[in-house]
Structure 1
């Protein structure tokens, strides 16, 4: 399970193996003592993920780990309590329905989205399998993994003709999903016109100088906001000039859309209008659509600022100002935005925008767009894993996605989740990612029906529970 937590050391096949082993354990244990051990195992996995990703512990992270582990334990407990009271076919469905329902509840009720607790994100590189999320959302992959585990467990426990027939059905379902996904990739490729998009981040030299200067203020964002302009403005201006120069360079090379990372420009509140004016002038001069990430330092507590993204058109007009809808729990104190994803029509299709962690919330990402711009800001231990997960959003929404990550891995994906370009901040000299991105997206089943599959899993689990309660317990044996 430690190799299937959505971190940098994930091995995709591990996500298919560990549920088989844990399910076997619970079926051989007493219901409540087994559930306690499963909960402890999930707590351990959450702690491992936090350490692996270099997130750092705080009260919110600890509370989240304990709560998420409890939700992730419920499918195992449901299988232990209900499967013995049901006929073979419905008994096999308890665990997969429980896995999908638990993952859905985590994103619906918690502030963590799919950042942790989703098995689908461990499969982001398996493109044929990944296509199923265009119908079911990420819950479909969790269901399939749970279905395989439940089926293998039944075959292992009983080994009769009925269980082997169930195994053949499960194999046929899984092969059908993979074949359908492969056919979608082969026969419905992303074709047509493309637009050259460049993602630019400031150079490491100016970034590190800015970080060193801002770190001197012990009060954090509030201290930076209250600092004398002469103490912080030079390093902030150096980063801004670096980004403007990179924008000009990429526009001259043919880019029509340029995206800066999350918090690409940092500015005290009185200087915000000047920073935006400089970006507007560059968009006019270079004749590009320019997406800029801005970190505004304000003296107003408790947020002490804003985390914004602005899209500027080639005439220098600001088309939107979007505020991050999902600040990172325990880490960011920004006031959340309204969660309305902006969409504008351009000669290069419908452009939309969210910021970094927002992309971990499938409901927010279900937007009719052709290209989704995602300015982001991660760190070395988590940037690659976080960007890889963004492929799911592209497939779910049926749009291309460009994620420009400061101090992480940047990538562009088409609407099938195929990588168009990628760049690692820590291994490249120039912090630029360039891709020719399709300007026309498509409508997916998931975009139209939303989380219907997840709600059906919840309804199925409720129906199976009711059936098990009113049905006498089956005698032991095949």
Structure 2
């Protein structure tokens, strides 16, 4: 009887620990944004995973942490699906990676002793976070690195090692602290030493970031860019008809930008509803944009849609100084269940009973800069700005200025608006270039290569931003090497997992 009570009490403590990690992880991000919790948020879960009787039990506690974390983080998904089905599915899918993390800690690092007790949890979290960003269902929301968006000095390390490297540092401190708390008095001195090393690495990164921020901005050919935040009031309506008051607002602000000396004007995603080039009803709009570009010798980037070979595309069009359409970029990485239905053919038997969206886009054919007269312009449309691999690909293709166009009106003033915007800061730092962001209702902003805000428009206010930026072709170390830290962590965990499987006694 006493053993049963003890077992129930231990199980209850583990549940509380798992929930504590879930609460702290959720609190890292807007609108709560208690970013210092990142340095301790994983500690309860690591302790719980090691206390679990077996990896499967640890996975259950990890799932509990993940469900609480992601249910709060992505509550805005309900905006796209009033039934709540997509929210539940997304929460469970993302939580599965937290469950995997807990199982890996229990299997590969059941003891907190030694450097293995510190490095394995840090590598496991980094690897699982990287894994959940891959594939058609890839999702980067909730990455530990993004919790440090306001810690600009420390964020500079992503120019060297990417968000995976920063995530590893944060997880390393968590793992080292968990080891200190778990070790006995005799071994605690060594645990404190390892914690000191982890903290020293973070301080070194912070110190280097402080030094970097004190350096003058890189020099490059100057360019005056204008960003238009139209705030028309209907951008969050998925069924917005083509209305005559869309184009005139943007054209009027384009004229104002030209008067202020702009050379490149960027309209946000879906600024012109409908297929701009092929819809006869938009012929006058096309002609007006071309005329404005030609009259003022501007490059104008317009967010709209396109239809080609029966495929609907989320597109941006580049009008050059001669008024011709000189390029088009089609969104490649679409929003699952927001812009397309993953595995539509394979799961048709299911989707026919539970349709998610009624209009689907197709993916573009690759990542490449638009050939603006002002220089190669790397475009990312909305959700694409959440993926460092996309902006890295654009930089490697020659883009010396990055632009994000987005329609975040769907989110209103929910946390997703801030979550999405903060990711842009990391794309600028990783790439070592200016990043300009044009949003239908906000946040429209100009960020410098160190992630600092040059200009920013308030939410839900019609605004024209005009700023001078520099074209910067020189790549960062991250641009050259990519996610080497995440790859190393994944390979290390895979190797340890293979060894663990071989060492396990045969069942039965």
TM-score, normalization by structure 1: 0.85
Number of corresponding residues? 445
User: CA separation of 1:175/1:191 partners in 2, compared to 1, >3 Å: closer, same or farther?
Assistant: same
Instruction: Indicate conservation of the 8 Å contact 2:270/2:407, yes or no.
Output: yes
Query: Which of 102, 106, 118 is residue 92 of structure 1 equivalent to?
Result: 118
Aligned with residue 258 of structure 2, among 251, 255, 261: 251
Shift of 1:446: 1.2
| Aligned-CA RMSD value | 2.7
Please point out which of 282, 290, 294 is paired with 1:280. 290
Change beyond 3 A, Cα 1:431–1:352: same
Q: Where in structure 1 are there 5+ consecutive unaligned residues?
A: 225-231, 474-478
Q: Is the 8 A contact 1:136 1:453 kept in 2?
A: yes
Q: Please tell me whether the aligned partners of residues 326 and 372 of structure 2 are also in contact (alpha carbons under 8 angstroms).
A: no
Q: CA deviation at 1:126?
A: 1.4
| CA deviation after TM superposition for structure 1 residue 451, in Å | 2.1
Contact kept in structure 1, 2:28 and 2:35, CA below 8 Å: no
Q: Take 2:137 and 2:144, find their aligned partners in 1: how far apart are those partners? A: 17
Specify whether residues 280 and 35 from structure 1 end up closer, same or farther in structure 2 by C-alpha distance, changes over 3 A only: same
Query: Counterpart of 2:244 in 1: which secondary structure?
Result: helix
- Partner Cα distance (2:139, 2:282) in 1: 31
Task: Tell me the distance in 2 between the aligned counterparts of 1:284 and 1:102.
Answer: 50
Residues 168-188 of structure 1 deviation map (CA, whole Å, 9 limit, x = unaligned): 211211111111122222235
Matched, 1:200 2:228: yes
Distance 1:295 1:343, change over 3 A: closer
How many Å apart are 1:98 and its aligned residue?
Answer: 0.8
1:395 aligned residue: 429
Distance 2:157 2:283 in 1: 45
Per-residue deviation, 1:39: 0.5
Structure 1 Cα separation of the partners of residues 474 and 88 of structure 2: 40
Tell me if the contact between 1:266 and 1:297 (Cα under 8 Å) persists in the aligned partners: no
Partner SS, residue 350 of structure 1: strand
1:279-317 CA distances to partner (integer Å, 9 max, x unpaired)?
1111111221111101358996xx7x4321011222213
| Residues 441-452 of structure 1 aligned to structure 2 (within 5 Å) | 441-452=473-484
1:339 aligns to 2:366 (yes or no): yes
Asked if residue 184 in structure 1 is aligned to residue 212 in structure 2, the reply is yes
Task: Check 1:338–1:6 CA distance in 2 against 1; reply closer, same or farther (3 A cut).
Answer: farther
Q: Which moved more, 1:250-259 or 1:380-389?
A: 380-389
Alignment check: 8 A CA contact 2:145 2:167 kept: yes
Partners in 1 of 2:371 and 2:191 — Cα distance?
53
The 2-side partners of 1:237 and 1:135 are apart by 47
Q: TM-score, normalised by structure 2?
A: 0.81
Q: Deviations over 1:21-73 (max 9, x none)?
A: 22222223333333212202211221212325764545444323212111122
Residue 126 (structure 1) aligned with residue 151 (structure 2): yes
Q: Which of 384, 402, 423 is matched with 1:358 structurally?
A: 384
Match of 1:75 in 2: 101
Q: Would you say the 8 A contact 1:123–1:130 is kept in 2?
A: yes
Q: Does 1:411 align with 2:434?
A: no
| Secondary structure in structure 2 of the residue aligned to 1:15 | helix
> What SS class does the counterpart of residue 210 from structure 2 fall into?
helix
Rate the CA distance shift 1:343–1:298 in 2: closer, same or farther, 3 A: closer
Secondary structure of the 1:354 match is strand
1:16 is aligned to 39
Residue in 1 aligned with 2:137?
111
Question: Matches of residues 263-274 of structure 1 in structure 2 within 5 Å?
Answer: 263-267=270-274, 269-274=279-284
Q: Is 1:28 aligned with 2:35? A: no
Q: Which residue of 1 aligns with 2:407?
A: 377
Give the corresponding residue for 1:476: none
What CA deviation, in whole Å up to 9, does each residue of 1:183-235 have, x standing for no partner?
Answer: 2222353445532211113243xx44x87xxx6xxxx75xx7xxxxxxx55xx
Report the Cα distance in structure 2 between the residues aligned to 1:241 and 1:259, rounded to whole angstroms.
Answer: 15
- 8 Å Cα contact 1:4-1:119 kept in structure 2: no
Distance 1:45 1:157 in 2: 24
After superposition, what is the alpha-carbon deviation per residue over 1:301-339, rounded to whole angstroms, capped at 9, x for unaligned? xx7x43210112222132211111122211222111113
Name the stretch that deviates more: 4-13 or 372-381: 4-13
**Residues 240-278 of structure 1: CA distance to partner in whole angstroms, max 9, x if unpaired?**
011111100111012221110100011363334543332
Q: 1:91 to 1:447 in 2, by over 3 A?
A: same
Tell me, in whole angstroms, the C-alpha distance in 2 between the residues paired with 1:288 and 1:21: 56
Distance 1:257 1:391 in 2: 21
Distance 1:323 1:26 in 2: 44
Task: State the alpha-carbon separation in 2 of the partners of residues 449 and 459 from structure 1.
Answer: 16
| 2:158–2:166 Cα contact (<8 Å) kept | yes
